[in-house]
Structure 1
Amino acid sequence: MTRRFSRITGTGSHLPARRVTNDDLVAQLAQRGVETSDEWIVERTGIRARHFAAADQGASDLAVPAAQAALQAAGRQASDIDLIIVATSTPDMVFPSTAAIVQHKLGIAGCPVFDVQAVCSGFIYALTVADAMIANGTATRALVIGSEVFSRLLDFDDRGTCVLFGDGAGAVVLEASDTPGILATDLHADGKYVDILCVPGHVAGGQVLGDPLLKMDGQAVFKLAVGVLDKAARAVLDKARMQAGDIDWLIPHQANIRIMLGTARKLHLPPEKVVVTVHEHGNTSAASIPLALDHGVRAGQVKPGQTVLLEGVGGGFTWGAVLLKM
């Protein structure tokens, strides 16, 4: 029996129209009595701008054009898709899933759809699940999307977090193949770190209970992130029987330039092999990796046949990596 593999055949992304520079954000925060500066933000994060969704835009509104761009790149129609997975921590509704809403907006019906919630590792988790479903014959062509409107979760009185995040969506078409595209995956989580990155609120009885805004212990996240990303990267390389030197591009979760370059150094990869979009997008959580992947593809950096390492780390605490051949 011939083994089924999966390959990425198209990528797409979408950013909301409103671009917010550091200077824009500094002026907004000053009105609230919160002091920061462009220099302070850039030095600590590498972020210079981010995009914020309009008040009437939800995660599905960003996901649909990203999905359409990926479908066009793959030469496929929405009707060719038989699985949709959306990675998001900011769904349109409590339920149904944002994936169901995206399915309807794409004008298709019948195929399985669901959301994955692993925060900034969400796209890695979703891609791993889609790969497994294609490998076992449950699906043949999947849309895997990361879409976030994290601006809705930000506490603009906390300069340590509100400057970090942005909104956006990225998508890939993943198709069954006779030759390996996804070479190896590796997923992990440790719930004892729930408190270092969370939104500790929920809806009950028509009211928000707890705090519905993002909380983060930045130093704890930084310390944990570099270590676990290195382990996940080495795990997928070992599974694929490859070396770090075989990697053409590292596309990490775009959270903080220091974490990203720290991970590259541990793998002895030069900065020139890291796809970086954090300076323009900020941290878009589950959308950041597919956004960066699409940017790399469309900029002519990431080419067919190259080996790419995707890796993410996020609240939960979750982390993981995917090694693939484009």
Structure 2
Amino acid sequence: MFDVYITKAAKYLPNEAVSNDEMETYLGLINDTASKARRIILRNNKIQSRYYAVDKNGKSTHTNAELAKNAIEQLFDENFTNQDLEVLSCGTSSPDIIAPSHAAMVHGLLKNKSVELNSSMGICCSGMNALKYGFLSIKAGNSKNAICTGSEKVSTWLSAQKYNNEIINLKNLEEQPIIAFKKDFLRWMLSDGAGAFLLQNKPGGEISLKIEWMEAYSYAFELEACMYAGGDKLENGDIKPWSDFTPEQWLNESVFAVKQDVKLLDEFILPKGVESMSDAMAKHNITAKDVDYFLPHVSSYFFVEGLKKGLDEKGIILTEEKWFMNLLRVGNVGSASIYIAVEELMNSGKLKKGDKILLSVPESGRFSFAYAYLTVC
């Protein structure tokens, strides 16, 4: 078994930062009416700026694959060129197309050479799953290096025009032409961007991060879907897939819209997160004293105090100075968020050799959680 190091990290955030007051300029107004939920949701998540891969007319400036490619290219230099790459592992929850895979589309843009590909689907944990594939490949001696990414392009999924047919249909049915909260909620939570790591079997550069271990947990065996797209939830909790709807229903019911069951989110995201993190730390015999920096991916500051309280009750006392977050400035970039946070910390000048970093990534899709423990070297 070989040691695995993150030797370089990069991010790509498209265009200029978008303030809270500018959001509807980019995403548009549903039914020509400002969202009543927007201010409430933004007040709770405390995000102040984010990035969109669209212009003010809603026209795309980048694809998801291009965002990932732009982050990846920053990892190449005279010491590691695109011809040296062996494994490309890409995670996303918002691929540009259903098939071919997201990793294949990114590789097509790199135009380097034949490499091994892996695409990880899911939601926020897809980025961590992509990282674990690269980690295990190097650890097992299958490869000497890998580039792993998390990237999202959700702005076009959230544009007002995607909901117009549903509004027209509601008017025709003489119902209130208001998009359900489960759809409107995520329009003010998500943003675009990409992050990338270069993994190698030897440390390199001024700072490298040795991946000590990675763990992942799923509670889908006992909990129904909470965040979903490309279908709709039935009364019994099952998801009816898009392929079982008519094309008219795709439009009239915004079947492809990203939805969030907020009640389920509130009930389970923190308890299951605390439970899985406690299990991961116990499995590897570490405590809060063995953590110098805690990087939790959270979708909203609304959950931060609850997470702290839950961890405290488990005896995991992570003091304020150990928490490292950039949600306020870059927004919730889904699978890319943890990459972007690590890149910022890695290049901050704060790290010293021997520091221990714990990464925590929850996914509300059907409640999955992923963790990684890193040593600065």
The answer to whether the superposition gives a TM-score over 0.5 is yes
**For residues 37-87 of structure 1, what are the alpha-carbon distances to aligned partners after superposition, in whole Å with 9 as ceiling and x for unaligned?**
65x344311211211112142111110121122345x94212221111110
* Residue of structure 2 aligned with 1:215, choices 237, 256, 259: 259
Tell me the equivalent position of 2:139: 135
Q: Is the Cα–Cα contact under 8 Å of residues 254 and 284 in structure 1 kept in the other structure?
A: no
**For residues 3-62 of structure 1, what are the alpha-carbon distances to aligned partners after superposition, in whole Å with 9 as ceiling and x for unaligned?**
312111100000110432111126654842422465x34431121121111214211111
**Equivalent position SS for 1:103:** helix
| 2:241 equivalent to 1:197 | no
Tell me the equivalent position of 1:70: 75
| 2:290 equivalent to 1:238 | no
* Aligned counterparts of 2:199 and 2:42: Cα–Cα separation in 1: 35
Tell me the equivalent position of 1:226: 270
* Aligned counterparts of 2:159 and 2:128: Cα–Cα separation in 1: 27
Tell me the equivalent position of 1:183: 212
| 2:345 equivalent to 1:296 | yes
* Residue of structure 2 aligned with 1:160, choices 163, 176, 185: 185
* Aligned counterparts of 1:173 and 1:304: Cα–Cα separation in 2: 19
Between stretches 51-60 and 27-36, larger displacement belongs to: 27-36
AA matched with 2:367: F
Tell me the equivalent position of 2:15: 17
Q: Cα–Cα, structure 1 residues 227 and 155, in superposed 2: closer, same or farther, change >3 Å?
A: farther
Q: Is the Cα–Cα contact under 8 Å of residues 71 and 173 in structure 1 kept in the other structure?
A: no
Tell me the equivalent position of 2:329: 280
**For residues 244-294 of structure 1, what are the alpha-carbon distances to aligned partners after superposition, in whole Å with 9 as ceiling and x for unaligned?**
111111112241123245434513112322221111222111011101111
Q: Is the Cα–Cα contact under 8 Å of residues 148 and 167 in structure 1 kept in the other structure?
A: yes
| Count of aligned positions | 322
Q: Is the Cα–Cα contact under 8 Å of residues 261 and 271 in structure 1 kept in the other structure?
A: no
| 2:293 equivalent to 1:249 | yes
| 2:356 equivalent to 1:307 | yes
AA matched with 1:292: A
* Aligned counterparts of 1:269 and 1:169: Cα–Cα separation in 2: 28
Tell me the equivalent position of 2:371: 321
Q: Is the Cα–Cα contact under 8 Å of residues 8 and 198 in structure 2 kept in the other structure?
A: yes
Tell me the equivalent position of 1:48: 48
| 2:125 equivalent to 1:121 | yes
* Aligned counterparts of 1:6 and 1:221: Cα–Cα separation in 2: 34
- What is the CA distance between 1:88 and its match in structure 2? 0.5
AA matched with 2:68: A
- What is the CA distance between 1:139 and its match in structure 2? 1.7
In structure 1, the gaps of 5 or more residues are: none
Larger radius of gyration, structure 1 or 2? 2
Q: Cα–Cα, structure 1 residues 36 and 316, in superposed 2: closer, same or farther, change >3 Å?
A: closer
**Equivalent position SS for 1:78:** coil
* Aligned counterparts of 1:139 and 1:93: Cα–Cα separation in 2: 29
AA matched with 1:198: Y
**Equivalent position SS for 2:299:** coil
**Equivalent position SS for 1:123:** helix
* Aligned counterparts of 2:344 and 2:12: Cα–Cα separation in 1: 10
What do you get for the CA RMSD once the two structures are aligned?
A: 2.7
* Aligned counterparts of 2:159 and 2:225: Cα–Cα separation in 1: 16
* Aligned counterparts of 2:345 and 2:114: Cα–Cα separation in 1: 33
- What is the CA distance between 1:203 and its match in structure 2? 6.5
* Aligned counterparts of 1:16 and 1:137: Cα–Cα separation in 2: 36
* Aligned counterparts of 1:104 and 1:303: Cα–Cα separation in 2: 38
* Aligned counterparts of 2:127 and 2:76: Cα–Cα separation in 1: 17
AA matched with 2:217: H
**For residues 140-180 of structure 1, what are the alpha-carbon distances to aligned partners after superposition, in whole Å with 9 as ceiling and x for unaligned?**
10101000012233375444221100011011111124999
**Equivalent position SS for 1:150:** coil
Between stretches 199-208 and 26-35, larger displacement belongs to: 199-208
Among the aligned pairs, what percent are the same residue?
22
**Equivalent position SS for 2:22:** helix
**For residues 180-216 of structure 1, what are the alpha-carbon distances to aligned partners after superposition, in whole Å with 9 as ceiling and x for unaligned?**
9221221122335443110134665995847100110
AA matched with 1:85: S
Between stretches 53-62 and 296-305, larger displacement belongs to: 296-305
| 2:88 equivalent to 1:84 | yes
* Aligned counterparts of 2:68 and 2:225: Cα–Cα separation in 1: 29
* TM-score, scaled to structure 2: 0.77
**Equivalent position SS for 1:53:** coil
Q: Is the Cα–Cα contact under 8 Å of residues 87 and 122 in structure 1 kept in the other structure?
A: yes
